[in-house]
Structure 1
Amino acid sequence: MQRYFIDEDNWQDGYIAITGDDYHHITNVMRMDIDSEILCNHPNGKVAHCKIEKIDTTTVVVKIIEWLESNTDSPISITIAQGLPKGDKWEFILQKSTELGVSRMIAFQAERSVVKWDDKKVNKKFARWEKIVKEASEQSHRNKIPSVDGVLSFSALLEESKNYEWKFFAFEDEARNRQSKKLHDYFAKINEGDSVFVCIGPEGGFSLNEVEQLLAASFQAIRLGPRILRTETAPLYVLSSLSYYFEEMR
């Protein structure tokens, strides 16, 4: 059943008014009609099973049939901070990380990031990023849409990480050291409801200066297996590992 995330202002007295891109998707892409059934997500994470009652030129009105007991989000809050990569890799990371249960996505300008984005370019791209995570949340039947931050400086990134209970960064030197701690070594210490912050470098990895700052900010250097992963692969490895441990093994 098709799922849509609807703004809080559109919910009223057992009915939901669907407009904009979702209206277009329902009427022109899915070609739904009166009595078609859909799922609607409230911003608070609750899910309603609904039936279409009215379609006009700008709005689809649906009636709530029942509220569903559904929670597909991760039992831990996971933030991925990604060193700004080249090309469309960031959009790929946003989409796949959403499917794998991330709670928050942050891009940051690393010393070795090949691309440099100013505020004007970020503002131009931001609406697209939000659309990507919304559609990925609908496709993967999530309860909430992950938040997406604009591109932060490295110092701003460290400031954002201060209130997290667990902070890690993937470091390629650790991959070469088989005696180093793995992400899995920390899993047993992480409790449901904890917040986890994972920092991933760009294509060229972290600079020595960045590594020193991360360690000084109480980040733990971890390895993601014995191989050196591409920047777009690393966050997916982390999220898949956390999902398997906390959602399948427990």
Structure 2
Amino acid sequence: MSLPVHLVPTLDGVGVGSTVEVAGAEAHHAVAVRRLRAGETVVLTDGRGRSVTGEVLETGKRLFTVAVGSVSSDDRPLPSVTVVQALPKGDRGELAVEVLTEVGVDTIVPWAASRSVALWKGERAEKSHAKWAATAREAAKQSRRTWHPEVAPLATTSEVVELVRGSSCAVVLHEGASTPVAELDVGGDGLLVVVGPEGGLTDEEVASFVGAGAVAVRLGAEVLRTSTAGVVAVGALLSRTSRWG
């Protein structure tokens, strides 16, 4: 059985024999919901490549402490993967974030596409972004990632164009594309995948991304939902890199 993973703000200066205190909402969930008890073994990570394994010494209402038994540090995986995710409707945004995190995406960029049904404005934008960030955090712990993904601020189409221009390998998913993803030459130290909304990409959006250097690709004969297309594309691309080699 896999050990439970908990996120802490920092593990700087922590070594074998150190004691780490976990407090706040993270500790409350572990103690009150998961019923964490002294004597159990857990993993703590800072989400930036460092993790420790140790025994729980004591627990409180919103607190538990861990005696560190081992320490590990992982390099950031390459190539890095960024997914520009057009805003889906309902809770499909959180579904997209969850599976993208599980497959190893490093940065998730919410995008207000022309045909996006959902709108992020004002207080709703703040709450929606917070939901995406929380979903990514929990999915990263569940999938035992030591490097946690970033959920970037909401992007406009012009900002996505600049992301494409700065990427060494960018693709835009489009069911009408002539190039299958299996024929794409995957190279460089960064991948960027643009996923359109339920209503599809406009011709202008596709032209803008391709003009900035992206390759329009199709996944297959089937048309996937926006919440699942990204994870399928990332899996297909990573399978052809050293990261999954």
TM-score, with normalisation over the residues of structure 1? 0.88
From 203, 226, 233, the equivalent of 1:231 is 226
Is the 1:99–1:140 Cα contact (8 Å) retained in structure 2? yes
In structure 1, the partner of 2:70 is: 66
CA deviation map 1:112-170 (0-9, x unaligned) = 11222214211122222211111111111111111002221111222233321111101
2:161 to 144, 158, 161: 158
The letter for the 1-side match of 2:23 is T
**Separation (CA, whole Å) in 2 of partners of 1:12 and 1:48:** 8
1:183 aligns to what? 181
For the 8 Å contact 2:47–2:147, the answer to whether it is kept is yes
> Among residues 227, 230, 239, which one is paired with 1:244 in the alignment?
239
Identity percentage of aligned residues: 24
Q: Which of the numbers 13, 18, 21 marks the counterpart of 1:17?
A: 21
What residue ranges of structure 2 are gaps of 5+ in the alignment?
Answer: none
Matched, 1:136 2:139: yes
Quote the offset at 1:74 in angstroms. Answer: 5.0
1:96 alignment partner in structure 2: 99
3-state secondary structure, aligned to 2:230: helix
Runs of 5+ unmatched residues, structure 1: 175-179
**4+ aligned runs moved over 3 Å, structure 1:** 9-13, 68-71, 243-249
Shift of 1:48: 0.7
Counterpart-to-counterpart distance in 1, 2:244 and 2:166? 27
2:129 to 126, 129, 140: 126
Distance in 1 of aligned mates of 2:231 and 2:103: 7
The one-letter amino acid paired with 1:95 is: E
Query: Aligned in 2, Cα 1:231/1:165: closer, same or farther, shift over 3 Å?
Result: same
For 1:85-126, what per-residue CA distance to the aligned partner results, in whole angstroms no more than 9, with x for missing partners? Answer: 111111100001111111110111111112222142111222
Cα pair 2:47 2:145 within 8 Å, conserved: no
Contact 2:4-2:42 at 8 Å conserved across structures? yes
Q: Provide the rounded CA distance (Å) in 2 between the counterparts of 1:238 and 1:157.
A: 18
TM-score (norm 2): 0.89
Q: What RMSD in Å do the two structures reach over aligned CA positions?
A: 2.2
The aligned length equals 241
Q: Secondary structure at the match of 1:7?
A: coil
Offset, 1:67: 1.4
